[in-house]
């Protein structure tokens, strides 16, 4: 190849690359976007993003990581159920769901594969809060909408959906302090979630922020993986080693933590935990005996809001980069059977799956009719 030809080829390649860069999604735009009660920006500083409008119906993939607890199973069931609801199913040509485990490389590989297959949007619970830059750039070049939710990424380059995990930790700590009255010392058990995830990290930081400021507690940490069986064993081991606790904060597997205390004949103490139906049933039954419980909910139904947000983005609407979903919270004074817990449903069911501001309600029968299997 002659020098002139080489220069021409390089110039043409540069033109192509600049053209790709010029159409790379998304663009930064002014807000507000559609349905602001549902797609609420995290703060006044949250920027807005806009992708090039695509004709529907769309191909959507849900790339989950860890699948070893009931929350993740219900999340997958909810995604499948939501995709079949009227007003949504007409917009979805194909839904694929995969769970890749806790390996970041495996999750990144699955996301890249779906992008290369021509999928329009990818909903994901990130295995780790960083390391996704390469697939984000690939998605941008292909005008693919990537929506992390629950365990989100430490980046502002993608649209994300979540509840305020720091505030969940703070809310839990404030509740325990209120129930403890003037007591500001003693042992407190903290049952953490799946290590390495932003949710576990942020809830822990929020909890410690308040507890360490307000008292001189000895906080004992164990790992429960947001799983009833794991949390029950971890709590039982902590009770065997440390004896009496004044209060408990568990990020998940809350039903298991209460059962471990009951098995050990430990007196009921104030407790803050997740939105498992079993945990709420135990609070309702034993509140009068001392189980003064708070139940916040990081709902598996967040997947439906994430799918709805992705569809809105594909339709060309401006969207907040970080969408804030309100935290559903009940406690032992506000629990009502068949309203915010169900005595006739299994312990493993997560109770909060209705989002009135978004017009989204995925019912228990719809969810339980689905499985959590990969759909590759």
Structural domains present in the chain: 40-163+300-326 (3.40.50.2300), 165-296 (3.40.50.2300)
Neighbours of 89 (CB within 10 A): 13
Which residues on adjacent β-strands are paired with residue 1? none
- The per-residue pLDDT of the chain, averaged, comes to 92
- Better pLDDT: 236 or 363: 236
Residue 275 pLDDT more than 70?
yes
Q: What is the pLDDT of residue 5?
A: 46
> Model-level pTM?
0.80
> CB of 29 within 8 A of CB of 48?
yes
- pLDDT tens track for 103-132: 999 999 999 999 999 999 999 999 999 999
Rounded to the nearest 10 degrees, how much is the dihedral formed by the CA atoms of 14, 53, 361, 94? -70
Q: What is the pLDDT of residue 86?
A: 97
Residue 300 pLDDT more than 90?
yes
Q: What is the pLDDT of residue 98?
A: 97
Residue 96 pLDDT more than 80?
yes
203: nearest Cα among 172, 231, 177, 180: 172
250 Cβ contact partners less than 8 Å away, ≥ 6 residues apart: 189, 190, 191, 224, 231, 235, 257, 271, 272, 273, 274
Q: Tell me whether the omega of the peptide bond preceding residue 57 falls within 30 degrees of 0, making it cis.
A: yes
Q: What is the pLDDT of residue 198?
A: 85
Residues above pLDDT 70, as percent of the chain: 93
Q: What is the pLDDT of residue 67?
A: 86
Neighbours of 130 (CB within 10 A): 11
Q: How far apart are CA 303 and CA 123, in angstroms?
A: 8
Q: What is the pLDDT of residue 376?
A: 66
> CB of 142 within 8 A of CB of 122?
no
pLDDT confidence tier of residue 76, bands split at 50, 70 and 90: very high
Average pLDDT of the segment spanning 335-351: 90
Cα separation values, 103 from 106, 126, 199, 318, Å: 5, 10, 17, 33
Residue 300 φ then ψ, to 5°: -60, -20
276: nearest Cα among 241, 333, 229, 315: 229
Residue 23 pLDDT more than 90?
no
Average pLDDT of the segment spanning 18-44: 80
Q: How far apart are CA 192 and CA 208, in angstroms?
A: 12
């Amino acid at each position: 190849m002659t020098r002139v030809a080489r220069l021409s080829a390089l110039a043409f390649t540069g033109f192509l690359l600049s053209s790709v860069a010029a159409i790379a999604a998304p663009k930064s735009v002014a807000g507000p976007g559609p349905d602001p009660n549902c797609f609420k920006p995290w703060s006044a500083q949250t920027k807005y993003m806009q992708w090039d409008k695509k004709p529907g119906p769309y191909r959507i993939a849900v790339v989950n990581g860890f699948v070893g607890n009931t929350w993740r199973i219900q999340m997958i069931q909810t995604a499948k159920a939501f995709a079949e609801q009227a007003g949504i199913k007409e917009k979805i040509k194909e839904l694929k769901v995969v769970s890749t485990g806790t390996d970041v490389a495996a999750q990144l590989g699955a996301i890249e594969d779906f992008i290369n297959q021509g999928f329009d949007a990818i909903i994901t619970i990130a295995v780790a809060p960083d390391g996704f830059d390469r697939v984000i750039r690939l998605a941008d070049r292909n005008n693919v909408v990537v929506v992390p939710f629950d365990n989100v990424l430490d980046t502002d380059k993608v649209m994300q959906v979540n509840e305020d995990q720091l505030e969940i930790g703070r809310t839990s700590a404030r509740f325990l302090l209120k129930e403890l009255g003037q007591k500001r010392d003693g042992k407190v058990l903290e049952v953490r979630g799946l290590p390495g995830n932003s949710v576990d990290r942020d809830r822990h930081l929020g909890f410690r922020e308040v507890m360490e400021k307000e008292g001189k507690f000895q906080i004992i940490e164990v790992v429960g993986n947001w799983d009833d069986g794991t949390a029950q064993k971890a709590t039982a081991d902590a009770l065997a080693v440390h004896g009496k606790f004044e209060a408990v904060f568990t990020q998940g597997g809350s039903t298991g933590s209460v059962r471990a205390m009951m098995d050990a004949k430990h007196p009921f103490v104030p407790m803050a935990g997740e939105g498992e139906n079993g945990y709420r049933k135990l609070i309702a039954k034993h509140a009068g005996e001392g189980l003064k419980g708070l139940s916040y909910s990081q709902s598996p139904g967040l997947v439906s809001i994430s799918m709805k947000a992705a569809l809105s983005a594909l339709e060309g609407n401006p969207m907040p980069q970080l969408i804030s979903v309100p935290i559903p919270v009940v406690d032992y004074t506000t629990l009502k059977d068949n309203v915010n817990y169900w005595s006739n449903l299994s312990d493993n069911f997560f109770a909060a799956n209705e989002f009135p501001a978004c017009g989204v309600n995925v019912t228990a029968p719809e969810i339980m009719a689905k499985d959590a299997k990969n759909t590759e």
